[in-house]
Amino acid sequence: MSNQELEQEETGAASVRPVEFPQADATRKREPGSLPLQTFYNVNVDISVELGHATLPLGELLRLGEGEVVELERLLSDPVDVVAQGVRIARGEVVVIEDRFAIRITEIENASPPPAAAEAT
């Protein structure tokens, strides 16, 4: 054991000393949005499709059983929302490919930066 560890064990107090960090390199600073988009091409993002929603009183929700039908606010002809990480990125229509549902994209959301990012520039 070192002397410091022995002192700490005897007194029961931990020794405290300042931490020294290396100087940050200001020459490596990047402008916002300067990182190439290709850097993120292999990042997986969860995508979901929102068919519609409904608002029910809790009592009615608790009384739902098998065979019950919950009517959604969206019309059959309305496009569904394609959502990534909670943000709507597109809209489309439901199609069937073999035995699976799929979405045909009909419109892409505007790719403008969020308001907080726009204010910072």
What single DSSP character describes residue 81? E
Domain 45-109 has CATH 2.40.50.100: no
Q: What is the pLDDT of residues 48-61, one digit of tens each?
A: 999 999 999 999 99
What single DSSP character describes residue 121? -
> What DSSP string runs through 1-20?
--HHHHHHHHH---------
> Cα separation of 103 and 108, whole Å?
13
> What is the model's pLDDT at position 48?
95
CA trace torsion 82, 88, 91, 92 (10° rounding): 0
The rounded percent of the chain whose pLDDT value lies above 70 is 72
- For the chain, domain boundaries: 45-109
Q: What is the pLDDT of residues 55-111, one digit of tens each?
A: 999 999 999 999 999 999 999 899 999 999 899 999 999 999 999 999 999 999 986
Sign of CA dihedral 101, 75, 107, 50: negative
Residue 55 burial by Cβ neighbours in a 10 Å radius (0-12, 13-18, 19+): exposed
> What DSSP string runs through 12-43?
----------PPP-GGG---TT-S-GGGGTT-
Q: What is the pTM of this model?
A: 0.56
